[in-house]
Amino acid sequence: MKQLREDFSSVKEKLEKGEELMLIYRSQPLAKITSLMEEPFGKKAKTKKKAKKKDYSKIIEKLAGGFELGDWTPEQLNKLLDKRYEKMLSGF
Amino acid sequence: MKKCYLDSNILINLKNTKSSFHKKTKELLVSLVNNSYNLCISSLVLDEFLHQFQHILKFQKKRDILKKVLYALESVMSLPKLKLVNPPLSKKNHLKIVGYMKDYNLLPRDAYHFLIMKENKIGYFATFDKDFREVFREGKINDVFSVI
The pLDDT of residue A88 is above 60: yes
| Higher pLDDT pick, A17 / B70 | B70
**Tens of pLDDT, residues B82-116:** 999 999 999 999 999 999 999 999 999 999 999 99
Residue A49 pLDDT greater than 60, yes or no? no
Q: CB-based contacts of B101: which residues, under 8 Å, 6+ apart? A: B107, B108, B111
pLDDT of B126 > 90? The answer is: yes
Contact B97, B115 (CB under 8 A): yes
Query: A81–B51: do the CB atoms touch at under 8 Å?
Result: yes
Mean pLDDT of A45-49: 54
Beta strands in chain B (DSSP E): 3-6, 38-42, 82-85, 124-126, 142-143
List pLDDT tens digits, range B22-56: 999 999 999 999 999 999 999 999 999 999 999 99
The pLDDT tens digits for A21-39 are 778 877 777 887 877 765 5
Per-residue pLDDT for A50 more than 70?
no
User: B74 CA to chain A: closest CA distance, Å?
Assistant: 9
Q: Does A63 touch chain B (CB under 8 A)?
A: yes
Of all residues in chain A, the one with the smallest CA distance to B78 is: A63
| Segment B9-19, tens digit of pLDDT | 999 999 999 99
Whether residue B135 contacts residue B116, with contact meaning beta carbons closer than 8 Å, is answered with no
How far apart (Å, rounded) are the C-alpha atoms in residues A55 and B35?
Answer: 10
All residues of chain B having their beta carbon less than 8 Å from the beta carbon of residue A52 are none
Cβ atoms A70, B21 nearer than 8 A: no
Mutate to test the interface with B, among A49, A55, A71, A78 (most CBs of B within 10 A): A78
Contact check, Cβ <8 Å, A70/B56: yes
Inspect the interface and report whether the beta carbons of A71 and B20 lie closer than 8 Å: yes
The CATH number that applies at residue B97 is 3.40.50.1010
The whole-number pLDDT of residue A20 equals 79
Separation of alpha carbons B2 and A86, rounded Å: 36
Residue B31 domain boundaries? 2-145
Q: Are B28 and B124 in contact (CB under 8 A)?
A: no
Domains in chain B: how many in total?
1
Task: B60-66: list long-range contacts, CB under 8 Å, 24+ apart.
Answer: B60/A69, B60/A70
Helix (H, G, I), strand (E, B) or coil at B86: coil
d(C-alpha B27, C-alpha B17), whole Å: 13
pTM: 0.76
A86: pLDDT strictly greater than 90: no
